[in-house]
Amino acid sequence: NCRKTSSRGRSVVFCPQWDQQPKMAGSSVFRPGLFNHKVAIVTGGGTGIGKAIAAELLELGCNVVISSRKAERLEAAAQEMRQQIPPSSPACVIPLPCNIRSEDEVKGLVSSVLQQFGRIDFLVNNGGGQFSSPVEHMSYKGWKAVIDTNLTGTFTCCKEVYTAWMKEHGGVIVNIIADMWKGFPGMAHTGAARSAVDNLTKSLAIEWAVSGVRVNAVAPGTIFSKTAMENYKELGPNLFKMSVPFSPAKRLGVPEEISSAVCFLLSPAASYISGATLRIDAGQSLYRSMWEIPNHSAWPKAPDGENQEALKDLLKPQSKL
Ligand SMILES: CCCCC/C=C/C(=O)SCCNC(=O)CCNC(=O)[C@H](O)C(C)(C)COP(=O)(O)OP(=O)(O)OC[C@H]1O[C@@H](n2cnc3c(N)ncnc32)[C@H](O)[C@@H]1OP(=O)(O)O
Ligand SMILES: NC(=O)C1=CN([C@@H]2O[C@H](COP(=O)(O)OP(=O)(O)OC[C@H]3O[C@@H](n4cnc5c(N)ncnc54)[C@H](OP(=O)(O)O)[C@@H]3O)[C@@H](O)[C@H]2O)C=CC1
């Protein structure tokens, strides 16, 4: 029994094993029933991080709409999640296909959810992604696909959910972005889009405060899931393996390490948090970049002068300094 009474007479949950055991996949650290009768839309909710978010919300009693382009995969994910819902729970999960690149489809999604559930408490903008390519080899169409998905898709979902429901009733939005704090060489399109969503998050937090809407973002480090890896085709396994040493944790994250942060931001525990971006990356964004710059002599020369002369001396192989 983890329930104890605090010194202030409040009932608190204290689990002595929390500092010894990792969070179990498919098991929230939050109180079951926390989100009973709430309604959430999770884009990209059928795979990877989105699936973990949907599963944790369901466990907490939330009704969850998972949405993305591939209807069959969504349906299979919903079926799998339904097996985990205890009979006593009021929660349900439904799959609704929607391409967030299409304004009409997003409008359709929002109106279907309101028709079926009569409310939308939470929006998690998780659907998105990119391919790996240096800018010089990126086509205009490829750049646009990534911007339309990650930036414009997020804008469209936020705007539709706000105008159709949250403006009058309040709610919480969480935008999933990425570790683009040092730029994103090799995936510049997504870096630009996610950086823009970071800024959009702050603008919306202010514009929509008047409606009681909180808007925050989560910036994951490198998070392993089979679907994320498969997106990069034959490059995938190596890309994820190569990333391990660049994490201060010396391991990759998993989707369940993102979902608990999202549930926290959606919960009343975060009632005074808006316009924030939470980095969930074990410090990866503060550490070294994966982008290698080979030795070269292409850089403009430094101005001549005594410092430059001293520097030349220092760099001479026989330097005593
Ligand atoms: C270990 C490092 C990880 C770093 C951290 C980040 C991790 C993650 O985000 S992992 C999650 C990965 N998951 C996804 O990215 C899933 C969603 N991704 C996609 O759907 C695609 O990547 C997309 C965003 C590019 C959209 O694809 P799609 O809907 O298929 O788009 P189009 O068919 O309209 O293609 C448009 C255009 O894009 C160019 N392109 C697409 N893929 C590639 C590629 N692999 N390489 C180069 N260019 C690509 C291309 O120009 C396409 O047009 P066409 O040439 O006419 O096909
Ligand atoms: N894994 C990682 O290391 C990181 C991931 N992220 C981001 O987190 C989010 C989840 O990624 P992750 O779970 O890892 O990878 P996944 O590839 O498993 O998830 C991406 C999800 O987005 C959906 N999606 C993509 N394009 C669209 C679209 N146009 N409309 C609706 N849904 C779409 C996909 O479904 P479908 O194909 O059916 O449309 C899929 O469910 C993505 O935005 C990703 O870029 C950010 C930083 C790091």
Residue in 51, 68, 131 to alter for ligand 1 test, most ligand atoms within 8 A of Cβ: 131
Write down all domains in the chain, each with its CATH number in brackets.
29-315 (3.40.50.720)
Phi-psi region of 112 (alpha: psi -120 to 50; beta: other; left: phi over 0): alpha
Q: How far apart are the CA of 296 and the centre of ligand 2, in A?
A: 36
Alpha carbon separation from 85 to 58, 92, 124, 137, 288 (Å, rounded): 7, 8, 20, 46, 42
What is residue 168's three-state secondary structure?
Answer: helix
Give the position, in ligand 1's atom list, of the atom nearest the Cα of 243: 1
Given a cut of 70, whether residue 4 has pLDDT beyond it is no
The per-residue DSSP string of 22-81 comes to: PPPTT--SSPTTTTTT-EEEEETTTSHHHHHHHHHHHHTT-EEEEE-S-HHHHHHHHHHH
Ligand 2 center from residue 59 Cα (angstroms): 22
What's the pLDDT score for residue 249? Answer: 98
The reported pLDDT for the residue numbered 23 is: 73
- Residue 166 DSSP one-character state: I
The pLDDT tens digits of the residues spanning 267-278 come to 999 999 999 999
Q: Is 128 in the pocket of ligand 2 (CB under 6 A)?
A: yes
Sequence letter at residue 213: V
Token reading at 218: 């989560």
Establish whether residue 139 lines the binding site of ligand 1, counting it when its CB lies within 6 angstroms of any ligand atom: yes
Residue type, 111: S
- List the residue whose alpha carbon is closest to atom 33 of ligand 1: 145
Provide, rounded to the nearest whole percent, the portion of the chain with pLDDT above 90.
Answer: 90
pLDDT surpasses 90 at 12: no
The pTM (predicted TM-score) of the whole model is 0.94
Residue nearest to atom 31 of ligand 2 (CA): 68
pLDDT tens string 186-244: 999 999 999 999 999 999 999 999 999 999 999 999 999 999 999 999 999 999 999 99
**pLDDT of 108-117, one tens digit each?**
999 999 999 9
Answer whether 141 contacts ligand 1 (Cβ < 6 A): yes
Bridge-based pairing state of the strands 39-43 and 11-13: unpaired
ipTM score over 0.90, yes or no: yes
Q: What is the C-alpha separation between 197 and 130, in angstroms, rounded?
A: 15
